[in-house]
Amino acid sequence: MNAIPVILVDDDMEIRDAWAETLALEVYEPSTFAAGREALRVLDRDWPGVVVSDLRMPGMDGIALLEAVQEIDRDIPVIIITGHGDVPMAVSALRNGAYDFIEKPAEPEVLLAAVERGARMRQLILQNRQLLSGAGAPYALEKQLIGNSEAIQRLRKRIAAVALADVNTVIYGETGSGKEVVANALHSLGQRSDGPFVALNCGALPDTLIASELFGHEPGAFTGADRRRIGRLEQASGGTLFLDEIESMPLAHQTQLLRALQSQTITRLGGKDEIGIDVRVVAAAKKDLEKASEEGTFRADLYYRIAVATLSIPPLRERPEDVPLLFMHYVQQAGQRVQRGSFEPDQNLLEELSRRPWRGNVRELINVAERHALGIDGETQGTAIGGTDPGLSDQLDAFEKRVLAAALRRTGGRVQMAADHLRIPRKKLYLRMQRHGLLREDFMKVERVENDT
């Protein structure tokens, strides 16, 4: 694992050296500077680390350094080290883009935890930028199947091998897991990438239309057939036919499909001529087709014809470490479409999203990301996901916000008094207020109004 760079800025040499020694014992590569302007020379938009700076320094202080870093890249995490009396100033820095702040004396475990969170966030941001910047480049599997989990890495390797084999394939996966994305990847990486990719959802068609969709028809083949129609098998010749929800196909049509795949010929409905085809079939199913064939609901001979290779897509809940990267990617995509500003990720939000069950898989996550990009999730975010009730984490967050607001309202925005009332440290209250968007000024106004009345 490559060492993660960390810039340490403090005019006190002993403090700098102590911080550097603490970080060097872990997976970090610290660089120390006595002044902020010297540190700025190291930074650019691709710099992969974290900046840790004292708040009060001669010349360029921590706030000025934060502003200068944001001009280079506002997504570089900046952690402010502050004395107890400067906590309000540090909280203001948080509102202006600082990643976190730590009170002096900075305990080693507290410093390491903050740097670890910042480094993880920076890695996600840079990975997401790389994905977005490659949107117009030639096809790359990593840009289609986003994630770094072992499960998704194994899937990518399996797809690459199956794609080159050019065999009929069955993809298993839950609703919204990305079965068509995988089918597209098999096509794009395979020998047929120059040919067409044609998709048909078998579960979305009535029985009476499946044959026409698959094989096409001639004029007069049935009532309403006033012109020739080219079927999906013929359209896909030279390329790939993707049959989604193939388990929904009636047995009679399974027989017709099997015959076409065996002979590599089709006859349009109402026609007489046999038409040669050259098709690779990639099918997707939500249920085990082998088991269905044993139960008699799916033809065993068709199963063995199309399941030369099989792929299984892991559900999103089994790879929670991929959720932050996926969420950020789709938020950025949605933000670009609606011309909104860049997404500034919130670690608490990303951690909460990673804990969700995601019954709708990536499709559900995309919906949540788009709502977030549009600014319409708000406090009802928990109820917006699949129409389910808020989860425990959402309910606890809402309860905590109400308790904090009530304490601040009672004390007229006097933070120390509210912290004493809640029996928590002042710093912790500031952090909780920042997390929930609570401003002491709002409660000071309430007090004045109430006193006037």
336 pLDDT above the threshold of 80 = no
SS3 236: coil
- On the question of pLDDT at 382 being above 70, the answer is no
Supply the pLDDT for residue 124.
80
Asked if 409 and 380 sit in the same domain, the reply is: no
Contact 300, 308 (CB under 8 A): no
Considering the chain, what percentage of its residues have pLDDT values greater than 90? 46
**CB burial readout 22-52, b (16+ within 10 A) else e:** bbeeeebebbbbeebeebbeebeeebebbbb
* pLDDT of res. 202: 92
**How far are the Cα atoms of 56, 294, 379, 443 from residue 397, in angstroms, in the given order?**
33, 49, 10, 20
Domain limits for position 83:
4-133
Cβ atoms of 353 and 391 within 8 Å: the answer is: no
DSSP string of 37-67? HHHHTT--TT--SEEEEES--SSS-HHHHHH
Mean pLDDT of the chain: 84
Last residue of one domain, picked from the residues 390, 415, 443: 390
With both helix axes pointing from N to C terminus, report the angle between 323-337 and 108-133 in degrees, rounded to the nearest 10.
50
Predicted pLDDT of residue 134 = 53
Question: Stretch 90-101: mean pLDDT, rounded?
Answer: 82
Name residue 288's amino acid: D
Question: What is the average pLDDT across 352-367?
Answer: 92
340 and 412 together in one domain: no
CATH number, domain of 265, equals: 3.40.50.300
303 and 338, same domain (yes or no): no
- Domain end among 254, 284, 314: 314
Asked whether residue 86 falls in the same domain as residue 181, the answer is no
Q: In the chain, what is the greatest distance between 2 CA atoms, to the nearest angstrom?
A: 92
146 shares a domain with 127 = no
Asked if 54 and 29 count as a contact pair (C-beta separation under 8 A), the reply is: no
Q: Output the pLDDT for position 393.
A: 62
Based on the domain organization, do 308 and 341 belong to the same domain?
A: no
Q: What percent of the chain has pLDDT over 70?
A: 88
Q: What is the CATH number of the domain that holds 40?
A: 3.40.50.2300
Q: Identify the pLDDT of residue 224.
A: 79
Least confident of 61-65, 276-280, 337-341: 337-341
Q: Determine which of 10-19, 158-167, 307-316 has the lowest per-residue pLDDT on average.
A: 158-167
> Do 31 and 62 sit in the same domain of this protein?
yes
What is the DSSP-derived secondary structure letter of residue 273? -
Give residue 312's identity as a one-letter amino acid code: S
Do 350 and 256 share a structural domain?
no
Q: Do 264 and 371 fall within a single domain? A: no
**Number of domains, the chain:** 4
Pairing of strands 197-201, 169-172: unpaired
Domain of residue 333, CATH code: 1.10.8.60
Instruction: Name the band, by pLDDT with cuts 50, 70 and 90, for residue 386.
Output: very low
Q: Is the domain of 322 the same as that of 444?
A: no
Q: Which pLDDT belongs to residue 136?
A: 41
Note the pLDDT of residue 120: 85
Torsion of CA 221, 223, 224, 227, to 10 degrees: 20
User: How much is the pLDDT for 268?
Assistant: 93
Contacts of 365 (CB under 8 A, 6+ apart): 316, 323, 326, 327, 330, 353, 358
73 pLDDT above the threshold of 70? yes
Same domain, 328 and 361: yes
3-state DSSP helix/strand/coil percent for the chain, to nearest 5?
Answer: 55, 15, 35
The confidence band for 385, taking pLDDT boundaries of 50, 70 and 90, is very low
What's the pLDDT tens digit per position in 271-292? 989 999 999 999 999 999 999 9
Domain boundary among 373, 390, 407: 390
Q: Taking residues 68-78, report their average pLDDT.
A: 92
Backbone angles phi, psi at 163, to 5 degrees: -60, -45
Of the spans 101-105, 140-144, 209-213, 234-238, which averages the highest pLDDT? Answer: 234-238
The answer on 96 and 45 residing in a single domain is: yes
Cβ atoms of 149 and 324 within 8 Å: the answer is: no
Q: Rounded mean pLDDT of 339-344?
A: 59
